[in-house]
């Protein structure tokens, strides 16, 4: 009898696991109610067993540098938007991450960058997509938000606008890195079997190929209680046909509202767009009064059930943080108002 019950429980938990896709990692963070800035550097197959101590150190230092740059703004009494932009800029300039310098290559051998930023206080937002010459796409996203009447600008038009705004313009080859170039060659070799649009076929729940990891994001809470969120990415290695992911899509990869939370997502963008992930988290908080952590877990569980992978960072206006993901790992870091830093890479 006991054995039958045990079998039933095991079967039920197995079925739940399948239904939910990959399991969600979402630890209890130590400084709840105290956080002012969270960042991520992408979700993917980040395994302790595959990491050398040297590589881990470099990632930790990079995350810490970005966190400190953003924290300096908060400490100085500047708006959350400034903190988000400062943290993301640092990661865009670091070739470790798939954003700015270090962005992945398209099938055609280009680097096409996307970024978005949103102010939780005014719910104004700005985004750029498919840009190839703007050194820091997060700066361009902010300029769209503050210096145009639009929300999203793409390609050549976005570049022209950035130039007019006096932002730093570079030659496309500035974004070249040997590692990403080799990543493209590998993706092309591994490509078959393909879907119609040239993306690698992936069975739900089997994990996503790391062709799209290293996106960066930040969410911040300033002294006035205002929230902001931002995300920047090179998108997905081997992407074609002007593919745009979730990162620059307001409500999908990036969202902020002072009523609920600031959110930045990372992972398989198509699933985050279809699930309107970042806004879904906000809606769960607003309409169902869910705490931010529960809402974050629910969103990533839903992404998993639909066959997608990735993670997100979310911060509410009381300094509560959530960092759930369903990949093997996610580069992520948080800082409290007293400057206490925590950095995580893996799922333990």
Distances (CA, A) of 157 to 128, 146, 152, 160, 162: 10, 16, 10, 5, 9
Contacts of 15 (CB under 8 A, 6+ apart): none
Report how far residue 118's alpha carbon sits from residue 116's, in angstroms, rounded to the nearest whole number: 7
Report how far residue 343's alpha carbon sits from residue 290's, in angstroms, rounded to the nearest whole number: 26
Q: Does 213 interact with ligand ASP (rule: CB under 6 A)?
A: yes
Report how far residue 250's alpha carbon sits from residue 273's, in angstroms, rounded to the nearest whole number: 9
Which one of the spans 138-146, 184-192, 239-247, 316-324 is the region binding ligand ASP (CB under 6 A)? Answer: 239-247
25 in catalytic set: no
Q: Does 233 interact with ligand ASP (rule: CB under 6 A)?
A: yes
Q: Which structure tokens are listed for 258?
A: 């002072």
Q: Does 215 interact with ligand ASP (rule: CB under 6 A)?
A: yes
Alpha-carbon dihedral angle through residues 79, 85, 88, 93, given to the nearest 10 degrees: -140
What are the backbone dihedrals phi and psi of residue 251, each rounded to the nearest 5 degrees, phi first? Answer: 100, -25
What are the backbone dihedrals phi and psi of residue 116, each rounded to the nearest 5 degrees, phi first? Answer: -150, 155
What are the backbone dihedrals phi and psi of residue 41, each rounded to the nearest 5 degrees, phi first? Answer: -125, 30
**In the set 100, 183, 269, 296, which binds ligand ASP (CB under 6 A)?**
269
Taking the CA atoms of the chain, what radius of gyration do you get in angstroms?
A: 19
Nearer to ligand ASP, 120 or 130 (CB): 130
**In the set 25, 226, 264, 266, which binds ligand ASP (CB under 6 A)?**
266
Contacts of 196 (CB under 8 A, 6+ apart): none
Binding letters toward ligand ASP, positions 134-173, x by CB under 6 A: ----------------------------------------
Nearer to ligand ASP, 99 or 334 (CB): 99
Which one of the spans 125-133, 145-153, 179-187, 228-236 is the region binding ligand ASP (CB under 6 A)? Answer: 228-236
In DSSP terms, which residues pair with 38 in a beta bridge?
A: 219, 334
Residue 41 C-beta: closest distance to ligand ASP, Å: 10
Residue 212 C-beta: closest distance to ligand ASP, Å: 4
Contact 256, 120 (CB under 8 A): yes
Nearer to ligand ASP, 213 or 255 (CB): 213
Nearer to ligand ASP, 79 or 253 (CB): 253
Report how far residue 87's alpha carbon sits from residue 208's, in angstroms, rounded to the nearest whole number: 26
**In the set 205, 267, 324, 329, which binds ligand ASP (CB under 6 A)?**
267
Nearer to ligand ASP, 36 or 249 (CB): 249
**In the set 42, 70, 205, 209, which binds ligand ASP (CB under 6 A)?**
42
Nearer to ligand ASP, 183 or 235 (CB): 235
Catalytic hit among 106, 215, 233, 342 = 215
Q: Which structure tokens are listed for 130?
A: 């498919």
Q: Does 199 interact with ligand ASP (rule: CB under 6 A)?
A: no
Q: Does 236 interact with ligand ASP (rule: CB under 6 A)?
A: yes
Contact 5, 299 (CB under 8 A): no
Contact 221, 262 (CB under 8 A): yes
Residues 240-259 that bind ligand ASP (CB under 6 A): 245-247, 253
Residues found near ligand ASP in the complex (CB under 6 A)? 42, 212-213, 215, 233, 235-236, 245-247, 253, 266-267, 269
Catalytic residues: 215
């Amino acid at each position: 009898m006991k054995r039958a019950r045990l079998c039933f429980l095991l079967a039920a938990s197995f079925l739940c696991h399948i239904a939910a896709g990959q399991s969600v990692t979402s630890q209890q963070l130590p400084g709840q109610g105290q956080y002012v800035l969270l960042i991520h550097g992408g979700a993917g197959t980040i395994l302790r067993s595959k990491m050398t101590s040297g590589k881990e150190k470099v990632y930790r230092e990079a995350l810490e540098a970005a966190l400190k740059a953003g924290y300096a703004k908060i400490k100085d009494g500047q708006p959350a938007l400034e903190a988000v932009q400062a943290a993301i800029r640092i990661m865009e300039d670091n070739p470790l991450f798939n954003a700015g310098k270090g962005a992945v290559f398209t099938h055609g051998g280009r680097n096409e960058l996307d970024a978005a930023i949103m102010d939780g206080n005014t719910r104004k937002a700005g985004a750029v997509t498919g840009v190839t010459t703007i050194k820091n796409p997060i700066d361009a996203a902010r300029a769209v938000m503050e210096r145009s009447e639009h929300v999203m600008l793409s390609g050549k038009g976005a570049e022209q606008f950035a130039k007019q705004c006096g932002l730093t313009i570079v030659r496309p080859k500035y974004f070249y890195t040997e590692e990403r170039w080799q990543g493209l060659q590998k993706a092309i070799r591994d490509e078959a079997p393909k879907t119609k649009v040239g993306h690698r076929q992936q069975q739900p729940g089997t994990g996503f190929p790391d062709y799209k990891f290293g996106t960066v994001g930040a969410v911040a809470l300033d002294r006035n209680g205002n929230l902001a969120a931002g995300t920047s990415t090179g998108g997905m290695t081997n992407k074609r046909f002007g593919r745009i992911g979730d990162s620059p899509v307001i409500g999908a990869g990036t969202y902020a509202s002072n009523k609920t939370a600031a959110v930045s997502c990372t992972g398989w963008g198509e699933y985050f767009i279809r699930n309107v992930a970042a806004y879904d988290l906000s809606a769960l908080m607003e309409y169902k009064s869910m705490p931010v952590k529960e809402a974050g877990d629910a969103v990533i569980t839903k992404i998993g059930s639909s066959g997608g992978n990735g993670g997100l960072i979310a911060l509410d206006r009381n300094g509560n943080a959530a960092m759930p993901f369903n990949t093997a790992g996610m580069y992520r870091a948080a800082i409290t108002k007293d400057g206490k830093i925590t950095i995580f890479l893996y799922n333990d």
